[in-house]
Structure 1
Amino acid sequence: MTGDVGRAIGFAVVGALALLAPLLEGRVDDRVAAVGTVAPFVVVAAVAYLSTSGPLFELFARPGDREEGRLYGLASFSLGIAGLAVIYVAFEFPVSAFLVAVFALTVGNLGQELTARYTPDPAVGTSAFAVLGTIGAVCAMLLAGVLGASVPALPLAVFVAASGALLGALIRSVLFVRDDSLVVLSVGLVVWFFLELGLAPTLRRVGIGIALTAALGYVAYGLGTASVTGMLTGVLLALFTVVLGGFGWFVLLVTFFGLGGLASKYRYDEKLDRGIAQENEGARGGGNVLANSAVALVAVVAFAVSGHVGVPSAVFRFAFAGAVAAALADTFSSEFGGLFDTPRLITTLRPVAPGTDGAVTWQGVVAGLVGSAIIGGLSGVFFGLNAPGVLLVVFAGVVGMTVDSLLGATLEGDYLGNQGVNLLATLSAGLVAGLAALWL
């Protein structure tokens, strides 16, 4: 057994102390249960901080811990769980959210370390983290149910477990491994949010959603259209879209991911020579994917709770379609339009060099219109929109594309980065489509 695997097992054993929560719940006085849930992790954190050598240090020490002479990684991990345990005992925090946060991380980490013994491929490692983290979290909730705790029905349990494991893998891919406390807290709060939505997905929808999104991630990474973080971000967003919205919502989102990624790869070497190519050989990172999809994600979550907020669900359906239309329109406009030698600045119409922020070509505008029309047409098919509804989605996409160019010509560079511009462009399109639908 390698040191990394042994350490992962050690962290999993410490995390298993979280099962004290459902074990003590309802069996002892509330104060005793609170102390019994929080205290073990505080004790482990204290012992970890004081350990500077010996078998415990050798088992849990990461490279950074060895350099600093203390088990800061284990201490941070334990304090993160202790903090979540305090939230659990002080508020109406579901025990399932607590368990998912802990077991998705610890079991997922063990799966990643076991996989690393056979292949260094980061995509394989993160996939193992997500799969085994999901299984570990589901098993923990099932065990909690056997112990008498209130846990969600199996379909919802699988959904929140998969969401927690994917989110944990994503956060871990952009942070240091020793930041496990942030992973635990973030996953716990997000799972709590989903449990509070009152969702009741079917096992069929959850199962198909996981299968579809896993296939999407595999294809995107295999084709080189997304990095590991981009793959994880896309898979997580797609899973939310399938379960919270439906399969039609997924079709719109995956169309943007697929066609947008291929557009970035189109004549990539020529774009590289012009200085307009996407970084990392056209593979989109998590920040890029999230900037283009965040508004759509908010729209699908709002759709899921629309019955509780008194806003017609159709408003959020239009907002989602408009945001996705803008994302694809802007991608087509820049990826295809940038290949032509006649760009003009959108604010002055003066000729500028290819790749200048805010530069447009008529070919790019046409390409963007085609991209928006693709999403508009799919919205008509899968959302059952009539002709005016389809035209509204197309119009919103063009508005978003235009806002992107205007912001690029005026604010990008000095005040906004590319991802900020993308976010505001999709937001403008979502607002136009949603507000117009509400007004109409």
Structure 2
Amino acid sequence: MTHRLRRAGAFAAVATLVLGAPALGPAAAAPFALVAVLAAFVVDEGPLFELFARPGDHEDRRLNGLAGFALAAAGLGILTMEFPGAVPMPDTVFAAAVLTLAYGNLGRELVRTATTDEFAVVAGFVAAATLAGTVGQAFVAALAGEFSVGAVPEYAFLAAVGALVAALLRSILFGRDDPLVMVSVGFLLWLFAGLTGTVPAVLVAVGLGLAVALGWVSYALDAASVPGMLTGVLLAALSVVLGGYGWFAVLISFFSVGALATKYRYEEKRARGVAEGNDGARGTGNVLGNAAVALFAVVGYAAAARLLDPALPLAGVAPTLLAFAFAGSVAAAMADTLSSEFGGLYDAPRLVTTFEPVEPGTDGAVTWQGELAGLAGAALVGAIAAFLMPLGGAAPALVVVAGAGFVGMTVDSLLGATVEGERLTNQAVNFLATLAGALAGAVMAFPLVVSIV
């Protein structure tokens, strides 16, 4: 057994202290606070020190990694206390946040003993974290006398989301940043716990299955890096569970068609200097730049549908407008991707602001072929959204979503010609373009939605 595996197992054992939270009540943070004190000020040598020591701890003669881990857990434990005017963090969320990280690390190290393949290692992290988070939440709920079989799908969904977020953060941060990962996961799960409520088991199973399949295919085809794959899987899972199958269909249309467009005649685009970097594999920044607005929209939709009082004026309008914003942002991402990937294959591009001829690959350059491809992509997203999402009125919805995609594509070109490179990165421009598509979709849909509601 390697030292890394033994250390991960020891951290997982410490994390298991969280299962006593319901019994300890207001003192749920106490065991972790004690561990933090021992790690920082008492244990500075011997077998126990060697078991938990991370690189750098020997120089300081202090278990900094364990102390930080325990302090983060203690901080989340404090949030489970009841304070006047504040809603406490549920013990189940507390347990999920601590266990997903610790047991995810253990699962990763177990896989590393057999292979160093990056995808397999990440899969080991996510699988172990999801299992531990689900079982931990169920145990804590049972100990508190609040367990019900119907809540298991919600536990599984929250555990899977926590596992994916933790794996994503672990792939882009350092090992010493585990406390930040744990706290981030805790707050995100606290938010999602308030949005999901009772989740059908079939929806969770299908949603996670589809998301995992998407991730495996995108990685196997080199359409995304591992962090990019994790981001896509997370977005897909949230879209299915918080929105529905239609939302997933819209999102998958962008990921799949966009990936195929990126790979289409890739070597020719590379020779022309207009190809996507990293052999076309999209990373986290690229995925989030194109899909972050869609993520905010689907979370906003779930919040509006669950939390708004139906008696409020226009309470029924807000969720539908957020659905249009989701579809509009994805249509903008699709239109921009196809216009760039296909337009870059043709000569005589012109700058969108002055229509002057420029070199292929120039930011803000457009071709009529690329514009047509972009419009076709926006129309495809519009058609899928109109028939599968709760937008109301197939033909009008298709026109609105396609129009929103065109607006986003145009904004991307204008920003590329004016501020990209010197002031904004490509990812920032993509974000603003999809935001423009979302806003355009909501604004253009407002009269339609009001007339229906």
Aligned to 2:50: 58
What is the distance in 1 between the residues matched to 2:145 and 2:206?
Answer: 28
Aligned to 1:131: 127
CA-to-partner distance for each residue in 1:152-189, whole Å, 9 max, x for gaps? 71111111111111111111111011111111111111
Q: Quick one: which amino acid aligns to residue 411 of structure 1?
A: V
Deviation at 1:272, TM superposition (A): 2.0
Superposition map of 1:299-314 within 5 A: 299-307=297-305, 308-309=307-308, 310-312=315-317, 313-314=319-320
Aligned to 1:12: 12
Residue pair 1:96, 1:151 contacting (<8 A) in 2 also: no
Q: Quick one: which amino acid aligns to residue 144 of structure 1?
A: V
What is the distance in 2 between the residues matched to 1:439 and 1:344?
Answer: 36
Deviation at 1:101, TM superposition (A): 0.2
1:197 match: secondary structure: helix
Residue pair 2:10, 2:52 contacting (<8 A) in 1 also: yes
Superposition map of 1:138-153 within 5 A: 138-148=134-144, 150=146, 153=151
Gaps of 5+ in 2: 309-314, 449-453
TM-score by length of 2: 0.92
Deviation at 1:353, TM superposition (A): 1.3
Indicate yes or no: 2:344 matched with 1:344. Answer: no
Aligned to 2:288: 290
Indicate yes or no: 2:48 matched with 1:40. Answer: no
What is the distance in 1 between the residues matched to 2:59 and 2:112?
Answer: 23
CA-to-partner distance for each residue in 1:184-232, whole Å, 9 max, x for gaps? 1111111111111252210010011111111000000000000000100
What is the distance in 2 between the residues matched to 1:288 and 1:67?
Answer: 39
Aligned to 1:94: 90
What is the distance in 2 between the residues matched to 1:355 and 1:347?
Answer: 15
Label 1:327 to 1:72 Cα distance change in 2 as closer, same or farther (>3 A).
same
CA-to-partner distance for each residue in 1:381-420, whole Å, 9 max, x for gaps? 2136421221111111010000000011111112211111
Aligned to 2:103: 107
Aligned to 1:430: 438
Residue pair 1:22, 1:149 contacting (<8 A) in 2 also: no
Deviation at 1:429, TM superposition (A): 0.7
Gaps of 5+ in 1: 26-32
Deviation at 1:151, TM superposition (A): 5.6
What is the distance in 1 between the residues matched to 2:362 and 2:61?
Answer: 50
Aligned to 2:311: none
Residue pair 1:23, 1:144 contacting (<8 A) in 2 also: no
Aligned to 2:382: 376
Indicate yes or no: 2:324 matched with 1:318. Answer: yes
Aligned to 1:28: none
What is the distance in 2 between the residues matched to 1:268 and 1:58?
Answer: 51
Aligned to 1:356: 362
After TM superposition, the structure 1 stretch with the greater mean CA deviation from structure 2, 143-152 or 382-391, is: 143-152
TM-score by length of 1: 0.94
After TM superposition, the structure 1 stretch with the greater mean CA deviation from structure 2, 222-231 or 412-421, is: 412-421
Superposition map of 1:111-190 within 5 A: 111-148=107-144, 150=146, 153-190=151-188
1:239 match: secondary structure: helix
1:412 match: secondary structure: coil
Residue pair 1:379, 1:385 contacting (<8 A) in 2 also: no
- Give the count of matched residue pairs: 431
What is the distance in 2 between the residues matched to 1:323 and 1:150?
Answer: 40
Superposition map of 1:206-221 within 5 A: 206-221=204-219
What is the distance in 1 between the residues matched to 2:47 and 2:261?
Answer: 54
The Cα RMSD (Å) is 1.6
Indicate yes or no: 2:384 matched with 1:388. Answer: no
What is the distance in 1 between the residues matched to 2:80 and 2:446?
Answer: 39
Q: Quick one: which amino acid aligns to residue 290 of structure 2?
A: N
What is the distance in 1 between the residues matched to 2:292 and 2:282?
Answer: 15
Residue pair 1:41, 1:82 contacting (<8 A) in 2 also: yes
What is the distance in 1 between the residues matched to 2:40 and 2:50?
Answer: 14
Deviation at 1:20, TM superposition (A): 2.3
Residue pair 1:95, 1:151 contacting (<8 A) in 2 also: no
Q: Quick one: which amino acid aligns to residue 341 of structure 2?
A: E
What is the distance in 2 between the residues matched to 1:53 and 1:265?
Answer: 55
Residue pair 1:99, 1:140 contacting (<8 A) in 2 also: yes
Deviation at 1:311, TM superposition (A): 4.7
Indicate yes or no: 2:413 matched with 1:405. Answer: yes
Deviation at 1:438, TM superposition (A): 1.7
> Equivalent of 2:63, from 55, 71, 86?
71
Q: Quick one: which amino acid aligns to residue 75 of structure 1?
A: A
Deviation at 1:68, TM superposition (A): 4.9
What is the distance in 2 between the residues matched to 1:149 and 1:261?
Answer: 48
> Equivalent of 2:249, from 237, 251, 254?
251
Q: Quick one: which amino acid aligns to residue 158 of structure 1?
A: A
After TM superposition, the structure 1 stretch with the greater mean CA deviation from structure 2, 231-240 or 255-264, is: 255-264
After TM superposition, the structure 1 stretch with the greater mean CA deviation from structure 2, 119-128 or 229-238, is: 119-128
Deviation at 1:57, TM superposition (A): 2.3
Deviation at 1:343, TM superposition (A): 1.2
Residue pair 1:115, 1:124 contacting (<8 A) in 2 also: yes
What is the distance in 1 between the residues matched to 2:424 and 2:264?
Answer: 27
Aligned to 2:451: none
What is the distance in 2 between the residues matched to 1:52 and 1:95?
Answer: 32
